[in-house]
Structure formats: C-alpha cells, structure tokens
Structure 1
Amino acid sequence: MPDASSLTPVPVPAGTALLRTALSHRADPAEAVAELACDLCHSSLGFVLFFCSVEYPLEALSRAFNEAFADIPVAGCTSAGEITPAGYARGSIVAIGFDRHHFELAPALVESLDAFDLPCAQRLVDELLGRCRERALAPLADNSFVVTLLDGLSSSEESVIATLDAALGSIPSFGGSAGDDNRLARTHVFCQGRFHTEAAVVLMVNTPLPFEVFSTHHLRPRHEKLVVTAVDRESRRVLELNAAPAVEVYAALVGQPVARLGPELFARHPLAVRIGDHYYVRSIQRANEDGSLSFYCAVENGIVLTAMTSAPIHEELVQTLRGLEERLGSPELVIGCDCFLRRLELEVLDEDAAVSDLLSRSRVIGFNTYGEQYHGMHINQTFTGVAIGTARDDGAA
C-alpha cells in the first residue's frame, strides 16, 4: 500500500509563493473577503480564483470582491464543500492568487449555454489565445491549459465541454460543476463582477511553469450490466433499466429496499459507461416517486451501464499525487475538482480526516463539485485538476 508520508510537504511562505492561497471562515462577506485580500494582495497579484459556500449572501459577496480587488480580475464559483490549505472545509471561502510575472489568465463568460456551438467556441478560444499572446509569458503551445466552471444544475455540461474541447485542439482542459452545499437547488459561477446561473466561466492560463492536467478515480468494474431501455434525455432521467422500472432494478442490484435509496448508497454503488478501455461514471442524483432515476450526467437510450465497486480512495489518491510529484517535482500547487460524492463516501466510511490531511500536505486547493470536466468529457466521482510545478532551471520563470 502506498505510504502517504513519502509525499514531500511543500512549505511555501505566503510572501514568496508564486501561487498564494487564502481561506476565510468568517460569515460576514466583507470581513471574509478582507481576510482573503490580506493574504493575497501584493504588487504582482494578477488574478484571483475562488470557491465559496452558498451560505454567503452572494450579492453582498460580489460587492466585497469588487471593492477589495477593484483592479484585479476575479473568477470563481459556489461549491459543495471547499478544499483549503487546511484540507476539507464547509461554509468557507478559499482563494488562489496568481502572480502576474508567472501567469497570464484570460477569463470569459458564456451566458447562453444552449446556443454555444462550434463557431462560438472557436471565436471564444481565439479571443482567449489572443489575450494570452499579448503578454507573451511563454509560447502558447505546451504552456497553456483551460479551467472550466459551469452551473452544476444546468444540464448543459456535456454539449458545452465537448464543443469547447473541439475548439481547443491540443490545449488540455479540466474543470468542475458548481455546487450548492448538496441542496441541489441553485448553483452559481462568478465572472465580470457578479454571480451568474445557467452560465460557464472559461479561464485560459498561460505559464512558463511546468504543469500536468490529470483525472483519477477509485472505482472498479463489476460483472453486472444494466441496459437503459427508456429515458427522458432532457431531464437526465432513466425510466427503465433492463425493461423494468429503473428504481426497482437498481435497488435489487445494491441489495437494498427502494425506500433506502439515497445519496450515501448512490455514492457507494455508482454506474459507469465503458468507452474503449476506460469507464466513465454516471452518478445517480436521486430516486423519483415515478420509479425513475435522475442522473448528474447525460444518459442515452440503449447505453450499457456497468455496476462499479469502490477501491480505497486514500490509496488511489496517494498513488496519483506521488506520480505527479515524480513527474513535476514538488508542486507549487494542485488545483483540484473533487466530486462531492467522493467526499460523502469518505464521510460514511469515516476516512475523510485522513484524506483531508493528505490534500493539505499535498498543497491541493479547490472544491467539491457536482461533476467534473476533463478533456471534453463530463464525468462524475473523480478527482480532476492540474498540478503546477516549480520554476524550471532554464530561467523561464
């Protein structure tokens, strides 16, 4: 079993870090943002990325960000939990400050998700590339990646991400769907000075620092297969599995009565679609009174879903973080999008404290999501992100 202690801690003083981080648990928006600004602001600050709980009054939070970072562009989203310098948190705001001498960040807001076609995506990518090219921090090829933040309840993730990926070409991308502390009511992204729903933020990052975009999960296939035989595609509801009510078939699969179906069981017993040699999870959101199952990802009539089982999350995460460190060296920072169902599973198993400590020691900052995006795919129950290494010896930084 991998030993988490073999991962090298990276104590980077806030005053010298190329990527500063800040956390606030203060309930008052103005006080919380002032605390963030105290830790983030310096003469070379070029951009702020944040993740926050929906417990904050969002209009007041917008005003606070606009006042505290008047000349600094800010983007972010609401979360289903935060990943902070101290590990997992809830009811907080965590933020990353990017040094403009090492990072050029170009944000864009996509407001009409349904109308986001390939010509729109190509124009957006060309605009972002042009803005990054103006600073010329590093050649765009091989030195740029894209972060996507989407309204987690918009049901548009698949089409938006696939379309964007086609326009990006070889530029890697990752991201997460905004959450709302597991309420499943209303999620938000932040750009251009305010919060938005039914929208996405596309953030292009150009840097001379080494980085790696990655995705991993802890799930392994079982032998059981379920065929989607009736579906309401627009609402992501599966009506039938194997020509029987979906709820009844799934309950039989996990060996539980229908009345016990809920988030904890869905997290422990997910379903996945196989594409090539890889399995991509299609997580269940809820069981409905009409016998259907609502999913977080798009589902199509006729697809075959494979029952999955969990391997230890902690072990899988140690292996992932160790591999990143071996390839990049001790990271400046890892920006992580961690599915909220993974965190729920850890809490059920009473393993969340150990993983929280691992994330803290590995310099992971991010949020718990309602879905992750990776190279044009919308997926569930993964840990997806970018690891950013330290400056190369060639003096590029």
Structure 2
Amino acid sequence: MTDQSSQNICQPELRTAFSTERDELMAVDQLHQQLNWPELNFVLFFCSAEYQLDKLAEALQQRFAGILVAGCTTAGEITAEGYDQGSISAVGFSREAFAVSGQLIGGLQQFDFNDAQGVVEQLSERCLKQQIAPIKDHSFALTLFDGLSTQEEKVLVTLDSALGSIPHFGGSAGDDICLANTHVYFDGAFHTNAAVIILVNTSCEFRVFSGHHMESRDTKLVVTEADSPQRRVLELNAEPAAIEYSRIVGVPVEELNHESFALNPIAVRIGDEYFVRSIQSVNDDLSLTFYCAVENGIVLTLMEPGELISKLDQQLTREEQALGEHLLTLGCDCFLRRLEAQIRGKSEPVSELLQRHRVVGFNTYGEQIDGMHVNQTFTGVAIGRKI
C-alpha cells in the first residue's frame, strides 16, 4: 500500500483513512493504523460491496472494540484522494469535539412517529451525557439506509418530525450498481431492510446542505398509473411508461439504461425547486422502477444536466467559506452523478475537485435531506473547527 498519511486529514478533531487492500483483515488493519489515536470516539465508514461482509464485520468489531462504528456499502467510494472503487473509506471523530450516539432501525415498514420520538430522545440523552454542547444548534443527524428497502420516504417523514430543528442528511447504501444486495453496518454486523441513525453533537461549526446541477426543460409527463409501494410507474401520459419516456428522450426502449437515466432525469417541482426522481430500471411490462417514491397524478418535468463541476465547486466553496476554518465535508453523492462524469470524460476533474475540497463519503442510491428522499444530488455536511 502506498503512503496515504500525507493525503489523509489528521486534525485534533477528526481524521480520515482509506484502504484499497482487497483482503478484509488487512484493509481494516490499515484503517486502524490511520485512525488509532487516544481521542477516537466514533468511526464512520463506506465500503465496496465486493468485500466479504461477514469477514469485514468481524475484523471491524475486533480492531475497533469499544468504539462506536457505523457504515454502509456503496456504489463507489470517496476517499481523501477522490473517487475510488473497490475500497473502504472512513472518518474518525474525536471525543474532545464530538459526542456521537447511534441506533439501528430494523423493521422499517413498522417504524412510526412514537418509535422515531423514542429513538431521538435516547440519542439526545446519550450525547448530553458526554457533555460536549447543548443539543439545539450544535447537533446534526446522519441516516444510512438499505438502498433497496424502498422505505426511505416513510421513515424519513417520521424522523424529521421527531428531530424538530436538528438538521439531517444521509444516503442510501449501494452495491456497485448490481441492484441485488445493499447493507448498512451497526453494532458489529451488516444488516438489510434496516437503517442507521447517528446523532452528532459537536463543539465544531458545521453546515448541512444539498444541491444539484440539473436544469429544467419544457417537456412534462403526468404519472397516470403507478404502484407507489413498489416505486413503479406503469403509465406516463396514459402510455406505457417506458415507451413514453423512450419517446421524449429519443432513446429506443431496448437501449434504455443507467446512462440514459443519468443524462435524461425527470423531476417533481415543489415550490420553485426541482427534485429529481431517478429511474432505476425498465421492467418486462414496460413499467419503470424508480429510486424515489412516485404517485398517481404527479407532474414530472424532463431535466438536463448543467455544469456539474462548476456548480459543485461553487456549492462546496460557499459552504466552506461560511465556516471559520473548513476541516472536512462528509458527502453523499448520487452514483448517477458519478456515472454522468464518466460518460462525459470528467471523472478525473471531479475526483480532483472532491480531493481539493476535502470531501469523504460515498456514491449513493439516493440522498436524504431534512426528511426528504432525493436523487442526483450532492448532499452532506461541511465541518469546521471548534467554536
């Protein structure tokens, strides 16, 4: 392994680590070497789904015994050196500047407001015991979901109500675009049909944010028949969904794929803002499966990608400049944005931009911001020095 210490962030408040080692034990050993300092209080990681997850879980539990560890599988990793694939990226938080508590949410279908209220109260109480800062104005929440659970919207609405004024962001786990098995990690094991919520209470400055580079076009599509629980649209404009989408984007049905969806997204308008509803796949019955919730009667607008690099640079710069001194940004970057960069031959410039802005995170199957489940965004938290 090459010397990564010069690339990784090493500050009193937090540290970053990553490994490209394919052996699970060696990869975790390398993370431990980079994050092993007395103040370590919490480890957040993002890993390729190519790892043998049972071996990885065992190694994490052994190496970081007594430390709270949470994470998920990805559709690509963002390390201290930018974009990567087939690796594991991590951030360590110090006990001096961060009080962190977490909870696994299983049985997502049954999760209700009373559950959410109980979870938030427990997380807050645990953080307050660490005596870092008041909860109000000094805390943010992070959620990681099984990216194929289809339960984000239901759980997020209840969580957002329970969190109140606490800002919240997160991402849905991926599996390198296999769409087969996505996992979240908590309490020594990987889980499916589950989510992890982390409350971070800190004496550091921070800013939670979300944005995209999509621009609206004139074309509209009305969802005239949908299977909302399954996130499937059967008809658009009273025509088979795949056929109508194929017609408006000018791509034959048999050639529709992730690239088509990345370059021709559709969005719902709420107020003056557009929120992308990304298409996941074309089904045999010519329906379309989405990564986000879709309902009968909603009007969708055809979008087109704008300037990804300049928009992202402006967004990250704006958040960093609002902090006294920027240390790190935790980023949830939709995998379709990364795919668009690859298609347009801009992967390296985007990767360099992420490295320059000190971004660590992962490529997602969906992003979460203050109770909403969104697609094709860059969503995250910029963290600064202690106030």
Alignment partner of 1:281 out of 276, 284, 304:
276
Q: Please tell me the residue identity of whatever aligns with 1:383.
A: F
Matches within 5 A, 1:1-397: 15-392=10-387
Partner of 2:3: none
Partners of 2:170 and 2:9 in 1: CA distance: 25
Runs of 4+ in 1 over 6 A off after TM superposition: none
Partners of 2:116 and 2:233 in 1: CA distance: 30
SS at match of 1:332: strand
SS at match of 1:131: helix
The C-alpha deviation readout for 1:101-155, integer Å capped at 9, x for no partner, is 0001100000010111000000000000101111120111100000000000000
Q: Please tell me the residue identity of whatever aligns with 1:25.
A: T
Question: What is the CA distance between 1:12 and its match in structure 2?
Answer: 8.7
Question: What is the CA distance between 1:378 and its match in structure 2?
Answer: 0.3
Partners of 2:383 and 2:131 in 1: CA distance: 19
Partners of 2:137 and 2:7 in 1: CA distance: 26
The answer on whether the counterparts of 2:8 and 2:16 sit within 8 Å (CA) in structure 1 is: no
Question: What is the CA distance between 1:15 and its match in structure 2?
Answer: 5.0
The answer on whether the counterparts of 1:47 and 1:74 sit within 8 Å (CA) in structure 2 is: yes
Q: Please tell me the residue identity of whatever aligns with 2:135.
A: L
Question: What is the CA distance between 1:259 and its match in structure 2?
Answer: 1.3
Gaps of 5+ in 2: 1-5
Question: What is the CA distance between 1:312 and its match in structure 2?
Answer: 1.1
SS at match of 1:238: strand
Partners of 1:158 and 1:67 in 2: CA distance: 34
Partner of 1:7: none
Question: Structure 1 pair 260/12, CA: closer, same or farther in 2 (3 Å)?
Answer: closer
Question: What is the CA distance between 1:330 and its match in structure 2?
Answer: 3.7
Question: What is the CA distance between 1:214 and its match in structure 2?
Answer: 0.2
The C-alpha deviation readout for 1:238-286, integer Å capped at 9, x for no partner, is 0000101111110111112111111001000000011111111100001
Gaps of 5+ in 1: 1-10, 393-397
Question: What is the CA distance between 1:48 and its match in structure 2?
Answer: 0.4
Partners of 2:54 and 2:11 in 1: CA distance: 33
Question: What is the CA distance between 1:390 and its match in structure 2?
Answer: 1.5
SS at match of 1:55: coil
SS at match of 1:390: strand
The answer on whether the counterparts of 2:9 and 2:80 sit within 8 Å (CA) in structure 1 is: no
The answer on whether the counterparts of 1:128 and 1:204 sit within 8 Å (CA) in structure 2 is: yes
The answer on whether the counterparts of 2:43 and 2:93 sit within 8 Å (CA) in structure 1 is: yes
Partners of 2:268 and 2:311 in 1: CA distance: 21
Q: Please tell me the residue identity of whatever aligns with 1:356.
A: S
Question: Structure 1 pair 56/13, CA: closer, same or farther in 2 (3 Å)?
Answer: closer
| Percent of paired sites with the same residue | 55
Partners of 2:147 and 2:86 in 1: CA distance: 18
Question: What is the CA distance between 1:17 and its match in structure 2?
Answer: 4.0
**TM-score, normalization by structure 2:** 0.97
The answer on whether the counterparts of 1:14 and 1:39 sit within 8 Å (CA) in structure 2 is: no
SS at match of 1:60: helix
SS at match of 2:292: coil
The answer on whether the counterparts of 2:8 and 2:80 sit within 8 Å (CA) in structure 1 is: no
Partners of 2:153 and 2:78 in 1: CA distance: 25
SS at match of 1:165: helix
Question: What is the CA distance between 1:16 and its match in structure 2?
Answer: 3.7
SS at match of 1:234: helix
Partners of 1:241 and 1:15 in 2: CA distance: 51
SS at match of 1:350: coil
Question: What is the CA distance between 1:329 and its match in structure 2?
Answer: 3.7
Partner of 1:4: none
The answer on whether the counterparts of 2:10 and 2:16 sit within 8 Å (CA) in structure 1 is: no
The answer on whether the counterparts of 2:7 and 2:80 sit within 8 Å (CA) in structure 1 is: no
**TM-score, normalization by structure 1:** 0.95
The C-alpha deviation readout for 1:185-244, integer Å capped at 9, x for no partner, is 010000011000000000000001110000010001111110000111121110000101
The answer on whether the counterparts of 1:226 and 1:306 sit within 8 Å (CA) in structure 2 is: yes
Partners of 2:16 and 2:103 in 1: CA distance: 23
Partner of 1:6: none
RMSD, aligned CA: 1.1
